[in-house]
Amino acid sequence: MFLAVTFSLLCWISFKISDRPRSLTQTSNQAGAISSQPIFSKRLIIREPSVNVVHSASLATLPDNGVAAVWYGGSREGARDTQIYLSRFSEPEGSWQNPRPIYSKKIVERELGRYIKKLGNPVLYADYHGRLYILFVSVSFGGWSGSAINLAISDDQGASWGSLKRLVTSPFANVSTLVRNNPVHIKQGAILVPAYHEFVGIFSEALIIGSSGEVIDKVRMSKGRGYLQPAIAMLTENSGVALHRSIDEKKRFVGFSRTNDAGKTWSSVQPLITPNPDSSVSIISNGSGKLVAILNPISNGRNQLSIAVSTDEGSTWSIVHDLEKSPIISDRFSYPNIIRTSNGNYHVVYTYNRKNIAHVHFNEAWLQKKVANK
């Protein structure tokens, strides 16, 4: 009897392990609730075989400490068959559900009653009521600079979505406002959405969106052509910082700016000493003064992606761990997105050579150990 029970248990465990997606590296501890033991794991989110290219993933926390991710995928970037995919990660099980498409060109055309050429850059956000917001761009004419932002809200954690709303954010035929990084909560139920403009000028912006999805305000964070794709982290109710992707070939450093009025005004963007190869960055606050960023800390290429930590409100950054470091210059690990769940665990997703979305999961204990070792 004892042998039978032991055998069954072993079979069940081996089944659960084999059921998991392929891991890039080893898992150093099992995921779970708040743990003083370092936890670190890395895996790829399984994509549909028919999807050649995936890109621009974004995460949001779910009420059960689970995580939802969205990204876009298709036969190639900008293809008309591009769809927005959603998947969920269960921390106790350590696995992702099979991704399912939630928005396609046809669905968006039907909901908005107009012609749409392609979709891209989805961004997820979960508010304090457990409602899930999705923002993504759609293009009807031209390239990405012809993008407009769409917003939908889900009351059932992404199982179904409310009606899609087209946000009008530009007086120039509503083209050229894009989203990339996660919104942050500000006062009175409103959210601050990092955005950017790329048409004649290329600059960072932020939208303030009310709880019903209405645009309340639009804030310019930089001007001219220099920085885009801001990533915002709030330190207190009013103060926060932003990191910006740099497109200036002469100043290939991450841009930095600060707000002290909940995002209504921003200091001018200053270059940090951290390099940036014209690539997207992601940032989060751990709520006790520490900022964590995911970025490519190199001047050219995207073959290195690292975790950086700042303990002085973003003024200086230390690289504490390389998530990816390849000698092959053509390898591309990009468009990172980081969130922190209520149990203090961090989740990172990023584009892995445009073929997969990689997921990294670690906890505060692991991060502290990495910081201490530096």
Partner 1 sequence: MYIGYFQYSLVLILIAFLGVDKAGLDRNYKIVTGTTLLLLGFYNFSNNSILEYLLGIFGQLSISTTLLLIALVISNFSSFSLVNSRDKKSLLFLVVAIGVVFYPMTLGLTLTDPYRFGFQPNLLASVFLMAAILIWFLGYRFLAVCILAASISHEIGLLESDNYWDNLFDIYLFIYGMIYFVVAIFRKKIILHPFRKIDQNGK
Q: By C-alpha distance, which of 125, 29, 20 is closest to 68?
A: 125
What CA–CA distance (Å, rounded) separates 57 from 122? 7
What CA–CA distance (Å, rounded) separates 42 from 27? 7
In the complex with partner 1, the residue whose CB is nearer, 53 or 151, is: 151
Using the contact rule CB under 8 A, the part of the chain among 1-9, 171-179, 297-305, 350-358 near partner 1 is 171-179
In the complex with partner 1, the residue whose CB is nearer, 187 or 225, is: 225
24 binds partner 1 (CB under 8 A): no
95 binds partner 1 (CB under 8 A): no
List, edge to edge, every strand of the sheet that includes 333-340: 40-45, 356-362, 346-352, 333-340
Using the contact rule CB under 8 A, the part of the chain among 34-42, 122-130, 195-203, 278-286 near partner 1 is 195-203
In the complex with partner 1, the residue whose CB is nearer, 131 or 166, is: 166
Q: Within positions 35 to 64, which residues make up the interface with partner 1, using CB under 8 A?
A: none
Token pair for 268: 């001018």
CB 341 within 8 A of CB 360: no
Using the contact rule CB under 8 A, the part of the chain among 118-126, 196-204, 281-289, 318-326 near partner 1 is 196-204
Q: Which residues contact 117 (CB under 8 A, 6 or more apart)?
A: 80, 105, 138, 139, 140, 141
80 binds partner 1 (CB under 8 A): no
CB 259 within 8 A of CB 242: yes
109 binds partner 1 (CB under 8 A): yes
In the complex with partner 1, the residue whose CB is nearer, 167 or 323, is: 167
114 binds partner 1 (CB under 8 A): yes
329 binds partner 1 (CB under 8 A): no
151 binds partner 1 (CB under 8 A): no
Shortest approach of partner 1 to residue 20 CB, angstroms?
40
DSSP 55-96: EEEEEEE-TTS-EEEEEEEESSTT-TT-EEEEEEEETTTTEE
What CA–CA distance (Å, rounded) separates 338 from 360? 9
Shortest approach of partner 1 to residue 116 CB, angstroms?
6
Q: By C-alpha distance, which of 193, 78, 66 is closest to 124?
A: 193
Q: Within positions 203 to 262, which residues make up the interface with partner 1, using CB under 8 A?
A: 203, 214-220, 222-225
116 binds partner 1 (CB under 8 A): yes
What CA–CA distance (Å, rounded) separates 183 from 189? 12
Residue ranges binding partner 1 (CB under 8 A): 106, 109, 112-117, 140-141, 148, 165-166, 168, 170-174, 197, 199-203, 214-220, 222-225, 268
